[in-house]
Amino acid sequence: MKILNFGSLNYDYTYIVDHMVRPGETLSAKRMELHCGGKGLNQSIALSRAGVPVYHAGMIGNDGEELLKVCREDQIDTRFVGSCDTKCGHAMIQVNEQGENCILLYAGANWQISMQQIKRVLGSFEAGDMIILQNEVNELATIIDLAYERKMKIVLNPSPFNDVLHQCHLEKVSVFVVNEIEGNQITGKKDPEDILDKMEQQYPCAEVVLTLGIDGSIYSGNKSRYQCDSYSVKAVDTTAAGDTFLGYYIAGIVDGKSIPDALKQASAASAIAVTKRGAAVSIPKKIEVDNFLRIHG
């Protein structure tokens, strides 16, 4: 089985602040850091660092060489990354003293993906291969439809949640990885068990992994549910924690781990990630995760 991630590649401008800027307020940041990121890139890096070969498809602009360099350093196959004469996508991220963040996205080159590129990329994959998607590139509905036609297993992290997702045939998704906010946006429910019950009703053929921050995560699918606690660590930056979780969870499943063990591996990886600043740079390598699990269980 080949793993394709069709997703964003961004530059992240991270501003360390006392608190999130309020309407009408001018706030001085304590410092600014520039990192490579984007949900797509982060998830590909997490997969690769977890030991799973991954192809990345997407689009960079005329300033994207550093993004390609980061991919190559992590052994991510970039043959399906195109380029265009515009600026790369980027994010402006505020991180407060509690490690919480808020993010403003600019799509840039990520929204320059063409139908021709989609068909060319998917033409290199076949039934049984896996495609991982987020909502930071254009033509998401088309990618889902064409991947489904090829009988690929579709993993969707529906973030950011917006009207684009209402245009997608979500019943074609094999695995949803959502946090409680996205779960609420999809189902209208707030309680985790209610979210999962509604997801089962709406998408009976799909598996769902619901992440709950410090309250851990829950898997629902195949008439089973599994709950996994989070690890207690001092968070300094939660950027890319969810992407790290997704990458390590999928890697665990691909490696043949049981669902509880895959959840535990993902939880450990995301716990390590939140102790470091930045997005892609915060994602741990598998040896770090294995050592963490040996210590913390």
3-state DSSP call for residue 207?
strand
What is the C-alpha to C-alpha distance for residues 200 and 208, in angstroms, rounded to an integer?
A: 8
3-state DSSP call for residue 141?
helix
| Structure confidence by residue, pLDDT tens digits, 13-38 | 999 999 999 999 999 999 999 989 99
How many other C-beta atoms can be found within 10 angstroms of the C-beta atom of residue 174? 18
CATH of the domain at 124: 3.40.1190.20
Average pLDDT on 125-141 reads: 98
User: Does 297 have pLDDT greater than 90?
Assistant: no
The total number of structural domains in the chain stands at 1
* CA dihedral angle for residue 181, residue 138, residue 136, residue 263, rounded to 10 degrees: 70
* Residue 163 DSSP class: G
Residue type present at position 182: E
Structure confidence at residue 188 (pLDDT): 97
- Antiparallel, parallel or unpaired: β 217-221 and 224-228: antiparallel
What is the C-alpha to C-alpha distance for residues 66 and 270, in angstroms, rounded to an integer?
A: 24
> pLDDT tier at 278 (50, 70, 90 boundaries)?
confident
Average pLDDT on 1-9 reads: 97
The two structure tokens encoding residue 101: 């963040």
Structure confidence at residue 232 (pLDDT): 94
What is the C-alpha to C-alpha distance for residues 27 and 30, in angstroms, rounded to an integer?
A: 10
| Structure confidence by residue, pLDDT tens digits, 52-111 | 999 999 999 999 999 999 999 999 999 999 999 999 999 999 999 888 889 898 999 999
| Structure confidence by residue, pLDDT tens digits, 137-167 | 999 999 999 999 999 999 999 999 999 999 9
Structure confidence at residue 97 (pLDDT): 86
Where in the sequence is the domain holding 50, given as residue range(s)?
3-296
User: With helix as H, strand as E and coil as C, how does 72-116 read?
Assistant: HHCCCEEEEEEECCCCCEEEEEEECCCCCEEEEEECHHHHCCCHH
pTM metric for this prediction: 0.94
Helix ranges (DSSP H) in the chain:
39-49, 65-73, 115-122, 140-149, 180-187, 192-202, 241-254, 259-273, 286-296
| Structure confidence by residue, pLDDT tens digits, 187-242 | 999 999 999 999 999 999 999 999 999 999 999 999 999 999 999 999 988 889 99
* Strand arrangement, sheet containing 130-133: 77-83, 55-60, 3-6, 130-133, 153-156, 175-179, 207-211, 217-221, 224-228
Structure confidence at residue 286 (pLDDT): 98
